[in-house]
Structures are given as structure tokens and as C-alpha cells.
Structure 1
């Protein structure tokens, strides 16, 4: 209703709906027969299937012997739904990462980047379902090792056309397509290190699965120039600070996984039992309430991280023993003569029993007989009755 008395229609304003990204069926990256299979030229006498090169020739394949990859994966265009999305397969397609899968939506493996939040069925396999080994190869190539979580890639044979920061930007731009790169305290804020004038770079991802995918996707590829990259696993960082940080990160990840697997009711029950053992008080939410009656020494001990719970319990027991005075000792009767006090008490007890039962005292305590004559009493000495 308007001011002039005429009715006006109210037009509802459409609200914006959140866009949900839907995957379309994966496209076929290549057609059968498009990719020509080119074998590396023979540089030795025997072919080593472990290192995937000829042995007995040069110590290392020269730069000219490397063949540039004919295809490359484009994650935005090539990602899509496959049969693996309906069958429950958790592993990615190896040929999809290399950009040469001819099956597309008919593939039995995933055509997407690996999801770090989804755990693989077998930890001894990589994201492509290939078996890992106990040790790395001498050239740090291949699938990798299951004894160490490696998230860093070694990228060699880079053509540097500018400063170190410019080269680092080029490397990061090409490698960030295949996963999220780790942050650090460097000038750029990214864990991409370039060794200037040595044509070497190190790229660290947040997830090992992304590092596995990027290693296959960028192998024998090129950056902005016409180079052929040599992508390998990086060796362990000898910096002690990095080792401590990596150990702390793995421990936090393990604790987070265990916390998710446990029942919250069991966690609350364990927290309550521990509080009862330590003498702490918890509120309704399970948080610790500081006890005002605690001594200052005990508070300092709790603030100290190096004191374990067992030590605190022993100290509390000692404090309770000191605070409660010992009971007064009963006065023990002193011994009289040759007999002890216990022996005298026993004799008194038995004498009372004899008196109650009407038993005469022993012969030693009887009265002496009266004498009839006041003579010498010779008969008393030579009498046969007396012994």
C-alpha cells in the first residue's frame, strides 16, 4: 500500500546461491596411437630395469640423451569422473598424471589430484598403487621409500635466465598446479629454494601425495625455456632445526589421527580418572580448575614441565605423612629384677586363675611345720624318709 492509496507489487530480490563445483566426465587426453613410443638411445651394454637406463656405458646419461615428454597433464581440463568414482578406487591414474591416458571416463583409476584428507588403503603404496621400497635408489628416483615421509622434490637442469627470485617464481608457478606448496620463513614465504648458478631447485609440498603426483607430472617436462627437467626425491635435510620441526609435525599428525579415531566418551572418562589420581578438580566441560588450597611449592612443580605425574603423586604422599602427626606411643612397663615385664604379667594372670579355681599355691610357698620338741632333733638328720 502506497501513500496515495494505490497498491504496489513487491518484487522479491533473488539471492545468490553458492556455486557447487560438479565434476564432469573425464575427457580422453590422447587418442590411441597419438603418442609415439621413443626408446632412449643405447649408451651401454646392458639395460638396468631398476634404474631404467643402460648400464656399462657412461656413468650418467648425458643431457642430450634425455627425451622430452610429448604430453603434459592439465589438471583443470583433464580432471573428471571415471569408473573409479563408482567402484571406490582410491588410487590415481599414472598415465593421467603424465597427460597420456586414452581411456578418459572409462579409466579404472581416479583422474583427479590425490586428496590428502583421504587415507590410502595401503601405506606401503604410493598414490598410483605402486609398491614402495625400504631404501631409495642411489639416484633418488623411482617410487620411493616407506621408511620416511618425503615431501620435497629435487628439480635439476633448470635454465636460469634471471636472478634467483625470478627463477624461484617460475618454478613455483609450474609446480603449484599439482598441489599446495609449504610455507616457510623465507623472503617469498614459499618453500621453494633455488641454488643459483647450479640449475637446481627444491620444492616442498604440504602433502607427500602431492609430491608423488608432481614428480611424475613434471618428469622430463620444461619450464618457460626449452629444458628437460630431472625430477628426483630430495635427500634428508641435515639441518637439526628442520629435523626437530619435521619430528614435531609428524607427532602432531599422529595425535590428530588418534584423537579422531577415539570415542569422545572414552577420552572424557580417561581425563576424569587422571584428574582423580592427581587430585585435580574438573569443571562441567572437563577443564582443569586450580585448587586454592595447594601449596606454592606444589604449584611450581606443576608449572615445571619436567616433573611427571608419578613424581608428583609420591611427593603428595610424603606431604600427607608429614602433615599428620604419628600416634602417641604406649608406655611399656619396665622390667623388674631378673624377670621381664611380660613374664611378670603372665605370672600374675596365672595366679589369679589359680585363686579362682581354689588351687593351693606351690610347695615353695607353703608354711613350715611346727616343731614338737625343742631338742636337737637328731632324727631329722639321719632319717630315711628325707632324701
Structure 2
């Protein structure tokens, strides 16, 4: 691990993590990571160091092949499953997760929402300038385009952000009036790739020649789950004992007949309840304190159903349902069988 001297601490704590500072206080980075051009074997990788170089992520490592850290993007799922890379104490660059990095964190005296949530693998990119409509030379008329602005922006984001990790899902949020900045939710397959991309995109534009300055932060957890849950049967399933538990909002939820599935898109496991059609990325055993019971109460099912709220997906125009308490999402209208 690189020695954290005064210069290194100043670089870690100030220059590289200003994504929540005011735009007037931020400056465009003079360097940019190009994984295709800059990746390579380093002394650190050959010696067994599994952590990534933060200067490589920012495109400014002067050590080159002599660097004591890895010069490559995280691999999914190999790096995701390595506890020496992804753990609750240090991030993938070797920084303590408890350190307050940004000016916002130091002012609030707390970490940014999602900074230490290892299950969160989605970034929210805002202040993105949408592609401008092409206009003809005569009278400034618009030229007919084969793709919508959202589709063009989707292509740009996938090309710019996809070089830092595998994208599981991407959602475009356009404001009324195409001159206003857009917001994009990018869901990666793993947390390690999301942490690398967050550092690589900080103080950058979407593309090198663009003039915007991206605002990069962790996405809200309820927006970070891909909507296309396909119940591809896993090699095995977990049928848990039926029970009723009280979650953090003091709402009783029935836990019965949970099966484990593999999401074909993100290659992540999730759990589905055959009785309530509930889906969740986390093991139901870890969602609350359970109490054994014998009688199933009807009001538990009714309370669970009242927590579902319909939403409109701006990308597809379809309606999906999100649970206000457990934060699951589903394309199907939830109802008890």
C-alpha cells in the first residue's frame, strides 16, 4: 500500500473527492483515466497487492509499471468476492471508509449516503448536457433524427461510463426543455466497479471535449435495483422457515416460502416470495428480528399490500411498483395469491 504521507493525504482528501462541493468551488481535472490505453502490469500486481491505484483512476499516476497498486479496472465477479478488496473497513483504493473526504462530508460531519453501503452499486450523474438537436442551415430548422435525445444520451453515457465497469442498468431522467441538465442513474454489476467509476468520473465531463462538470454521488438505494428481474432459477434455492418479523418501521411483514434466484442481467442473487410476490436483493434472514409464530394473520398481508406505490419509468414509459418499506421493485402489480 502506498505510504500515506502529507502529500498523499492532501491528494486523497481534497483533490480527488469534490463531487459534492458547489460548482463554483470545483475545477475540471487536468487528467482523465483511459483504461484501454493506461492499463497494464505493475510491480504491485505481480507482488500480490490486490488494491487499485487511485491515481490511475484519476489518470495521473506517474509511477507507471513501478506502481505498488493495480493499474486496471475491477473485474466482476472475481474482485467483488475478494474480502481483501471489498470490505467494510477500507475501499478498493485502501482508504479508510470512516475518513470524511469531501467538503460536504466535513461540513456535515458524516459520510455521504451510500458511501459505506457495500450492497449499493449505482451512481447518480447529474449536470449532464443533453445532446443538442441538429439544425439545418436554412432558417435554423431542425433535422429529422433517427434517435431521440434520450437514446442519444444513453449511447453517450454507456460509451463514457462503460469503460470503467459492466453496466447492469441505465436510466435517463430528462427535464422539460432539452437545454436543462439531465440526470442519469447508472447501475453497475458490482460495488467495486462503482467505486472505481465514481473516482474516475469525479471532476470530469461526460466526454473529454464536453464543457459540463459532472456531479457524481451515490444513487438512492431504491433507484439502484435493476427493474428487469427475470426469475432465472438458480442451481439451488433457499426455502426459509415461515415467520413474521418487525422491520425498522415497525411494520409486520410475513416471510414465507422464500426462493433464491439469479438475475441474468446483473449476475446477482435475489430472493422472491411465492406468497406475496415480494422480491429483494438481500437475504430475508438479515432484514430484521424474527419471531416464531404459528398463526398467519390476515392484517399482515393487507399492511404489506398498502405499502406498494406505482411509478412511471421515463425510459420505457411503463409502470412499475416500488415498496415504501422494503424498497423492492417489480414490473408486476403486487397482489396476494
TM (norm. structure 1) is 0.43
**Quick check: which one's strand share is greater?**
2
Highest Rg: 1 or 2? 1
Q: Which structure has the highest helix share of the two?
A: 1
